């Protein structure tokens, strides 16, 4: 009997892909080459394998959901928000703690933002999942970097045409006051913004599938956070239906240990770890 196999693709966006030169365009406004803001080593190859999986196994895919990291330029996790002691710029990949802010090492550029920023850092640290990381401005809404990797988009467009289907797009990250690695819930939900709260509609929708096939970037952050939230909140209570496509995801450089701990934890919970070749075979048998 044919199974309901749903593909969840997490943040397959240009800004996260180490694209080669012949995949880059030119910024028409400046004449400068377009460059990914936060490229993950191996992501371009991951996305090419994912595109092949969709093309060759599309007949066995019942549905596709794509999440999109979607930020404003002004964001608590971007350098545009912060200044160092004395007013200097804060470099990307700087971790900031509440104690450092209270000690004057870092301050919001807008002094009026200090109380809210401190309240956020306190709650983030209390939850114990992450320390605030200042990332390069990335996946800015409306930018080239926000766009989906061209091969992945072409593959899921072909699937839409062949299946008369719709790829669901789920945006996350547009609230500038909280980090939103997971597509299921922000790190610190904002009580005034329902878009940051636990998205049980999405979890329940995914849970209707017999298998939830997961790929995307980066395995140390957004794939990890999203999958952890799905596993924790599945109404069926069956993490064994999660299939992580291990060669269609990669970690941010320097976070390889988090990547491996994530895969080990998911396997211990019962999730399946499979290669794209193995998943293609599953999908082909399900067509």
Rounded-to-integer distance, Cα 39 and Cα 18, Å: 5
- 96-149 pLDDT, tens digit per residue, is 999 999 999 999 999 999 999 999 999 999 999 899 999 999 999 999 999 999
Rounded-to-integer distance, Cα 65 and Cα 172, Å: 13
Rounded-to-integer distance, Cα 14 and Cα 138, Å: 10
- 204-240 pLDDT, tens digit per residue, is 999 999 999 999 999 999 999 999 999 999 999 999 9
**What phi and psi, each to the nearest 5 degrees, are found at residue 213?**
-90, 125
- 165-184 pLDDT, tens digit per residue, is 999 999 999 999 999 999 99
How confident is the prediction for the chain on average, in pLDDT? 97
Pairing status of strand 82-84 against strand 106-108? antiparallel
DSSP 140: B
**Residue spans of alpha helices (H) in the chain:** 43-57, 98-102, 114-127, 150-163, 200-207, 222-233, 256-269, 276-286
**What phi and psi, each to the nearest 5 degrees, are found at residue 270?**
110, -5
pLDDT at 219: 98
DSSP bridge partners of 107 = 83
pLDDT over 90 percentage in the chain: 99
Is the pLDDT assigned to residue 1 strictly greater than 90? Answer: no
Q: Which of 149, 167, 171, 157 is nearest to 62 (CA)?
A: 167
- 37-63 pLDDT, tens digit per residue, is 999 999 999 999 999 999 999 999 999
- Average confidence (pLDDT) over 252-262: 97
- Average confidence (pLDDT) over 259-287: 97
DSSP 165: -
Count CA atoms within 13 Å of residue 128 on its CB side.
0
Is the pLDDT assigned to residue 89 strictly greater than 90? Answer: yes
Look-up: residue for tokens 């320097």?
Answer: 254
Pairing status of strand 63-69 against strand 5-10? parallel
Is the pLDDT assigned to residue 263 strictly greater than 90? Answer: yes
Rounded-to-integer distance, Cα 249 and Cα 275, Å: 10
Pairing status of strand 132-134 against strand 94-96? antiparallel
- 18-29 pLDDT, tens digit per residue, is 999 999 989 999
Length of the chain: 287
- 242-256 pLDDT, tens digit per residue, is 999 999 999 999 999
Distance of CA 57 to the CA centre of its chain: 23
DSSP bridge partners of 26 = 33
Rounded-to-integer distance, Cα 255 and Cα 278, Å: 26
- pTM of the predicted model as reported, rounded to 2 decimal places: 0.96
Radius of gyration of the chain (CA): 19
Rounded-to-integer distance, Cα 266 and Cα 180, Å: 20
């Amino acid at each position: 009997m044919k199974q309901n196999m749903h593909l969840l693709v997490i943040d397959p966006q240009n800004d996260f892909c180490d694209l080669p030169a012949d995949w880059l365009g030119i910024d028409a406004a400046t004449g400068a080459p377009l460059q990914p803001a936060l490229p993950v080593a191996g992501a371009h190859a991951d996305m090419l394998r994912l595109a092949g999986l969709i093309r060759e196994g599309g007949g066995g895919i019942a549905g596709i959901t794509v999440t999109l990291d979607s930020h404003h330029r002004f964001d608590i996790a971007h350098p545009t928000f912060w200044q160092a002691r004395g007013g200097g710029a804060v470099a990307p990949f700087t971790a900031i703690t509440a104690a450092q802010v209270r000690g004057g090492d870092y301050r919001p550029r807008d002094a009026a933002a200090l109380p809210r920023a401190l309240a956020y850092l306190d709650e983030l640290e209390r939850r114990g999942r992450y320390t605030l990381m200042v990332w390069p401005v990335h996946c800015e809404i409306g930018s080239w970097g926000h766009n989906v990797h061209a091969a992945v988009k072409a593959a899921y467009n072909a699937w839409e045409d062949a299946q008369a289907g719709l790829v669901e797009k789920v945006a996350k990250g547009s609230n500038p006051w909280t980090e939103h690695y997971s597509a299921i819930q922000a790190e610190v939900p904002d009580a005034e913004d329902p878009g940051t709260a636990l998205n049980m509609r999405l979890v329940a929708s995914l849970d209707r599938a017999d298998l939830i096939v997961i790929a995307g970037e980066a395995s140390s952050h957004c794939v990890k956070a999203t999958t952890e939230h799905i596993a924790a909140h599945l109404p069926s209570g069956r993490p064994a239906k999660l299939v992580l496509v291990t060669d269609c995801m990669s970690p941010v450089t320097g976070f390889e240990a988090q990547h491996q701990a994530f895969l080990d934890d998911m396997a211990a919970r019962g999730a399946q770890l499979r290669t794209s070749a193995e998943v293609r075979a599953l999908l082909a048998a399900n067509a």
